[in-house]
Structure 1
């Protein structure tokens, strides 16, 4: 999520065009025309490199989670409970770069019979690439029926598998809350140009340093040496 080409929106992009997001989020006025809806979608995008983004998304999640009961007294548990009950179009939608290195993938879950249906070459490749990130679960799902759409598949085998993965990830996120992660660096993927093209950074070096000092007042120090590392791939 820290990649400059990544962003996320409060709800799915398609919900802006259909107009549903303006019903689920009545504090945003439906602009009417398709062009203005597209503009509204782009203006709603958030990025983890922007200072204060977490406050904006927290306010959004609190508002949408408390809308039905008309309250802002919303805790994290309420947000998670709503998240797993509503359609995926009504929660945060991440937009990843066109090409994502496989080693960026943190977790891969796959039912055992689906993994067994892969060719031996595909199985070997998956195990070699993902290693400990590959989790083959003890589930057998119907490989010919998707089990319906929505937060809870009709097919019990798929529903059990989905609930298992969801609960596993929630437990992982709960543990991760204890360790805050703040943006301190940046990674850019740019086409080779023999260093002739100018590339604009979404956050300047001094901005990144100042942001870190504001968040970690006890950890700030007088040493303002900044190290910049350049890595060239497939040539110079």
Structure 2
């Protein structure tokens, strides 16, 4: 295996374990080598997209923007089959982390694309995640009906996938039905939210950093569930 790819895989594994400091040190050591020694623009786009996302997760936004520019450059040259939609998603996600809802929406829509129409587990998982974040942005802009539609669709397309274990769409649907005064649906989605929340580790609610009220509330709820 190419030693660059091997180290990159190590960095990705570290991110999954929330070891951001160690992972970012690897990305920093590799990124110049990636540009000069990797020949495939698709691989370069993936690398810089991953590095960009990791930097955004720990609120290093200026550097994240610089890596995003590289990711988009190589994506334009190497993504013939439009499979690198997670790169615009990471851009929308970065805005979402900062509470910049309007700025997040066009990027999340671009990432979502037509995924929800594809009968493929990988695309269903991405559609569930991207649609959830689009619904969140719409919720905070008080575009409630649109938010409800996106969140319900995210739950539907994410059914039986890993993405469906995410607590976020259920939290926001609970909040929407609370606003609407629909106690039955509010209770339904609250139960689904708490069921998923209880299975998480505390680190799952700390990373990525976020200004969402939901993240803070979820952490409080998680502590109550796990320390009754």
The structure that has the greater radius of gyration is: 1
The normalised TM-score by structure 1 is 0.23
More strand by share: 1
